[in-house]
Each structure stands twice: as C-alpha cells, then as structure tokens.
Structure 1
Amino acid sequence: MTAGEVAVVFKRMLGALGVGGPSVDTVLATPRVRPGGTLSGEVRVQGGDLDFDVEYIALGLVTRVEIESGDNEHTGTSEFFQVRVSGPFHLGAGRRHAVPFGVPIPWETPITEAPGGPLPGATVGVRTELSVARAVDKGDLDPVAIMPLPSQERVLDAFARLGFHLKKADMEAGRIHGLHQRLPFFQEIEYYPPAQWAGRVNEVELTFVADPHGLAVVLEADKRGGLFTSGQDVYGRFQVGHDQALQMDWTAEIARWMDGLAHRRGHGMGW
C-alpha cells in the first residue's frame, strides 16, 4: 500500500481461535466502489503465541434483506458473494503474512450512496473469513460504500430534480417477474412524491437490475384509493443499455409516467 492510497483499517481479534490466536487487519484501498468494479486491498494476518496452519482466507459481501413469511416480515443477513483470496499457508508464532486482493463486485450489488449522500437503510459490508484447524471465524461486518453506476445516477438525479423526497432503501428477498437476476433479492429505493402527484400516489419505489450490458429500471407506484375504490400498485419498466441511459431524458420519462398513472389500472407495466 502506498501513502497516497485511501485506506480504511478494520481490526479484530479472531475470538473463535482463542486467546493468543492470530489477529487480522483488512485494509481497503478502495472503500468506495461501483457495481461491476473491483474492491482492492490487503488482508494482514499477525501471528499469535503459537504456530498455525491457515487453511484459507475468504472475503464475503453481506447485506440486510427483508424476508416475508406469510403475514410476517423479518430482517436477515445475506452473504451474497464470497471469494477465497488465499489458499493454505503456515503462519509462524509472531510472524506477519500479507494477502493482497482484488474482489469483483457483482453488477446487482445494492447501492448505498446516492448523489445527495448515503441511502438510509442501505448497507453493504465486507466480511473477512479465516479458517484455522477447521475453526472458521467470520468476523464483523465492515461497511463498504457502493456508489451508483453513471447510468443509475442519471435516474437518481431525475428523481431529485422532480422533487421526490427520499424515504429509505431496503433489500427484498425474491425476484422480479420477467427479469434475469443473479442475486436472490432486489433493492427498493422508496420515495415520497412531490406535491403535484401526492394526491394520487402514496409513494414510488425504484429498483435497478444491472448487468455488464445495461440496466433495468423498474418503478412501482402505490396509488391512493378513492371513496369507493381501494388503492393499487402500478408498475413501469425500462430496459436500456448503459450508454443509452446516459442519453435519456429521465426527468421527462418519469414525469410522463407519473402523469399517466391516473389512466392506468392494476398491476400491468406502465411503459
């Protein structure tokens, strides 16, 4: 690591290995990264009082996911990606061992940052796992900032320009019908609508499903019910390439979709 690198150091004792066991520092050279990018850094292992044979070191990406079960909902921790960054090696007592890494970030990784700052409720962390003598310590969840792709940022900017108020973001277990997903959950970014649409819509949820080639933008509007009608959800979907998304007038597209909500019924796609 050079002095110019931005490094965040997370230190923990591996309790599963007992007093006198190795300690691990995970040093991130890229604590802010985009989907499809690379999380780079170095795992530094400090030997304890005795010699140890380390079986492997692995890094995992973890987030919190909302899971529905019948009428109940609870939050669980989901490790959605893991890669081994080291094979077996011998760690002498008091010796140091460094393992550099470059971990690819899945394209569907939920974002934790928006152009205006952090997304409330959105968390992604890296977890260092070290296996010694078949005792595995998964360590603590250390946060990593996931920045939006430029194509995603254009959509988020449009919501801000239209006056939507960010409510929160969360991850929902499950899959979106008609979309190819690699991860078993998807992110919902929830907004309160501005005044011109607040009379018709309670809130709007935005979901991105990205891959190397493009981006699916899924909108869900929770329409208000009337005196003799119940509320309903209306969906919209747009599938575009990343370059195309940069050229789109998302402000106009989203405003047009919102204006048309009064004429749409049920659960069909609004695009």
Structure 2
Amino acid sequence: MDLQGIGALAAAGVALIAALTTVLVGRWQTRAVLRASAHSARVGRAQAAASYKAALDAVQAQGRNEHLQWKRGIQRDAYATFLQSVLDYMEHATNVFAQGTTDPSQVPAVITASKPLGTDMSHRNLVVKLEGPEEASAAAQSTLVAAERFMQTCQGQARWFLAQSLLRERTASHPQEARRIQELLGRAEGYSSTLGTDRVPAGVVEELQELRALFSAVGLGLEHLAALTNAPPLNTYSDKANALDDAIENFLRMARAALHSAVQPAPNT
C-alpha cells in the first residue's frame, strides 16, 4: 500500500477516534446535565415543600389564634352578662329591703318582681358553667349562692316589716288580740331558733296554736305569723351583703385569670 493509502487509513482512524470521543464526551455531558437537572429538581421540590409547609403552618397558627380569640370573646361575654345579672339581682334585693321600711304594702309586688331576675341569673350561671374553666365556674356558683342568700335576707326582713305594719293596722279594731299577739311574739323570739327541732321548750306548741288562732281572728294569715317569728336579725343584712361583695371579687379574679390564660398565641413558623 502506498503512502497515500496509509495516510488515508490513518486519517480515517483518527476521525473514528475523534467521533467516538465526541460521543463519549457528549454522553458524559448529558449525564452531568441530567444529574444537575435531577438535583435542581429535588432542591426545587424540597424548597416548594418547605414553602408550602411554612404557609400551611402559618395558616394553622392564625386559625388557632383566631379560634382562641373567639373563645375568649365568648367567655368574656358570658362572665360579663352573668356579673351584670348578679348586680341587678343585688340592687333589686336592696330595693326589696328598702320597700319594707318605706312602703310595706308594696313588698309582695317587689318580691314577685325578683323571681325573673333570679331566673335570669341562674341561666347565665349555667352559661358560665358551659364555658368554664372550672375555677371560674366554681366562683360563679359561689356568687350565685351568696346573691340568693342576700335576697332571702332582704325578703325575710321586708316580710317582717309588712307583717308588723299589718298588725299595727289591726290594733285599733282588735286591741286585745293585738296586745296578746305582741306578748306571745315577744316570748317567741326566745325560742324561734328551736322551731322544727327537738329543743322546743314545753308549752311552745300551745302558744303557737294560740298565735295561729289570734292571727286568724284579726284577719292575718300564717305567712304573716311566719314572717314575724322567723325574720333574720337586722345585722344579717350587712353580713350577707359583705359575703356577696367578697364572692363577686373572687369571681372577678377567677374570670380575669381565665381570660388571660385563654389566649396563648401559637408560634408563627
């Protein structure tokens, strides 16, 4: 083979090697590009997932915070309306007592008017029980009981004023019966606390029977006799009022603590 043929073969070999090299380099480059693309895709997916999770966490945190704010608002309204009902009931109880001293004839009407106020207070207390927490609910129940005891005291004393007023009115038309009633009532003050127990003194039953007969004779009922023999002492008014004030203060402390702990903002991640 001449030199020209050998040169041609050599050139062809070189060209073949160059082509193979080009193919291999191309494959390597393609693989590198694919690997880089796959890595970029993984990084992109990870970044997208992280961004989605951060957005989802933020939305969830905002939702939790909004729910806590909503719950706090519901609790605040429940506490406020209950407290207002207690204050209304307390004010009316004071009016019941005052009515007994100023115009006893209106005592039955103002006592009747206290019933819807008491019902409203009880209903609002149930709402506090539903909303909780236990500490606020227990404080509300104690406040309710203190308010009812204050009202009972005011009503008892108002009924006493009414019965005394009615008895004085009977004095002119039934002087002897009225004097005997006052005498027996004076003695009843010494044993009124024993009524309904086994410590009732001898002869009390007979005196009570006589009082019933005398009250009937002057046109008064047994409810008036009960009012005069079972009226709470006057100092009980201030004692029950102070107890109610203390109960209200305790409820306010528990309500403030509950409202403060009700809002615990979730971290915004």
Q: Which of the five TM-score ranges fits, normalised by the shorter chain?
A: under 0.3
Q: Normalized against structure 1, the TM-score is what?
A: 0.23
**As a proportion of its length, which structure holds more strand?**
1
Which of the two has greater helix per residue?
2
TM-score (normalizing by structure 2): 0.23
Larger Rg computed on CA atoms: 2
Q: Which has the higher contact order (CA 8 A, sep 6+)?
A: 2
